Amino acid sequence: MEHITLLLGIVIVTALVFDFTNGFHDTANAMATTISTGALKPKTAVAMSAVLNLVGAFLSVEVAKTISGGLINESGITTEVIFAALVGAILWNLFTWLIGLPSSSSHALFGGLIGATLMSVGASGVNGSVVITKVLLPAIAAPIVAGIAAYLATKLTFKLASKTDEKATAKGYRAGQIASAGLVSLAHGTNDAQKTMGVITLALVTGNVLAPGANPPMWVIVSAGVAIALGTYLGGWRIIRTMGKGLTDLKPPQGFAAQTGAATVILASSHLGFSLSTTQVCSGSVMGSGLAPKGGVVRWSTATRMFVAWGLTLPAAGAVAAAAEFLTGQGTWGVTAVAILLVAGSGAIWMASRRKPVDHTNVTADDLDFAAAPVPAAEPAGVVTTAIAAVTPPPAGAFPAETHSTTGDLKTTLHSPTPDPARPAASV
Amino acid sequence: MNIDWAALGTVFGVSLVATVALVGLFTLGIVGLSKQTAAAASGGSAPAARTGAYACFALCAAAVAYGIFLIVA
């Protein structure tokens, strides 16, 4: 370890920070519905997810051979490019967390890598058609596949259990949901902690600390696992709120069907060669099971903002990463400046989040007023600020309180009254 | 551009069938158990419903085990 330069040290720390944001950004995938249906208490849920993420990090020996999945040509990658990519991904993750939108952490990392590569070697370093097949197509396919599966499963379970007492079956549904959520957490730890290990290992290889093709050292595996578990335990409550309550209202049977559908799609996709984003799968299955019962409703305004955020993930993280790569290319002062900007930007976003804090105490509250939450000015990168203006105001806004106390039939009348141009695209 | 439609189709089909089958099985298990509880409350018992419920849960547990196997492998 004596050969680790300052830059390499910064990159390793930054990679672990990204891993941490990845953890708390994605807690919602496994635990949002578990928390909103009351299967587990909020703190218990995130603790369970954190432990399973940690376990998952140690489970697989299959280290991500390629961190970008062929999106960019990794042979000419430099430590600065990795650093810039991570900066872009972290800031985008924090920003989407601030406005409470679930978005794919992997896509943020891909976007960062693409942006930094474009800036450092130009368009020749990026494989355009892979961007479409690995990022754009899955982003469309994931919610459709998971949504239809969860929709049909929810229909079926309501039909089969229609003659039984709701109270008697709720306990069983919750138990099943916990099992499915556990599987999602485990799979997440395996995939996403591996990704960070891959990034750190690649940085160590480019810094000539490790031989090419080497396995990650033990300290890399341990630190990546711990970082993602800590992030998960901290819990991205804002995103949990959006997923668990903002998109739709779920009863235990729906939560169970949604989570089982998500677990199945994630495992099927990662083992049949068509990787789908965990976040997008889970959002899709939540919407599918939300629509299934009679009078079921999805809040398309929130869903639309989420789809917009998915579309912006790649360009926004890429733009920040490109700017960061431009600065790091100026020499040591540039790297220092980027590091300072990253800390300042993260701090500003955190400060902004304190204005309307969401934590385990109010994550399922009905009347949380989000209206003042987004402060785009806190984002240091102007490009992103402009681009993101489209997705504000934030989701999970104050629903009318009666939404939660009336029957399903009445909910249909609460459909967003504003005509939404993006609705046809969103109604998948 | 080389879109792997076959892989996408497989993922779609497998996910759909597996999700619906698992959720269906689990629901049958829950319904069976609640029948047993109802029977017990009125002084009787429903051994068939109970056995069927446990069989359903066992199959679901096997599916979860297979899922863990897929993650580890």
Closest by CA position to A228, among listed A271, A191, A280: A191
The answer to whether A397 and A305 have CB atoms below 8 angstroms apart is no
Q: Which of B2, B10, B20 to mutate to test the interface with A (most CBs of A within 10 A)?
A: B20
Q: Which of B4, B8, B16 is the closest to A149 by Cβ?
A: B16
The answer to whether A18 and A109 have CB atoms below 8 angstroms apart is yes
- CA A335/CA A332 separation, integer angstroms: 5
Residues A365, A368, A369: CA angle, nearest 5 degrees: 170
- Which chain A residues contact residue B30 at CB under 8 A? 161, 164, 169, 172-173, 176
Is B58 touching A (CB cutoff 8 A)?
A: no
Cβ contact (<8 Å) for A133 and B30?
no
Confidence of residue A375 (pLDDT cuts 50, 70, 90): very low
A320-343: pLDDT as tens digits: 999 999 998 888 888 888 888 999
Is B40 touching A (CB cutoff 8 A)?
A: no
Is residue B54 included in any domain, yes or no? yes
Confidence of residue A84 (pLDDT cuts 50, 70, 90): very high
A236-277: pLDDT as tens digits: 888 988 888 888 888 888 899 999 999 999 888 888 767 788
Give the three-state DSSP class for B7.
Answer: helix
- Which chain A residues contact residue B29 at CB under 8 A? 172
Sign of CA dihedral A268, A273, A274, A277: positive
Q: Which of B1, B23, B37 is the closest to A257 by Cβ?
A: B23
- Write the CA distances from A120 to A124, A219, A242, A426, B60, integer angstroms: 10, 30, 37, 36, 51
Please state the domain count of chain B. 1
Q: Which two tokens stand for residue A147?
A: 């949504």
pLDDT at A373: 39
Is residue B34 included in any domain, yes or no? yes
Is residue B15 included in any domain, yes or no? no
Domain hosting B50: range is: 20-72
Closest by CA position to A387, among listed A327, A318, A335: A318
Is residue B1 included in any domain, yes or no? no
B7-54: pLDDT as tens digits: 888 888 989 999 999 999 988 888 888 887 777 777 777 788 888 888
ipTM: 0.88
Q: Which of A133, A154, A161 is the closest to B2 by Cβ?
A: A133
> Quick one: closest CA in B to A264, which residue?
B15
B62-73: pLDDT as tens digits: 988 888 888 887
A316 pLDDT higher than 90: yes
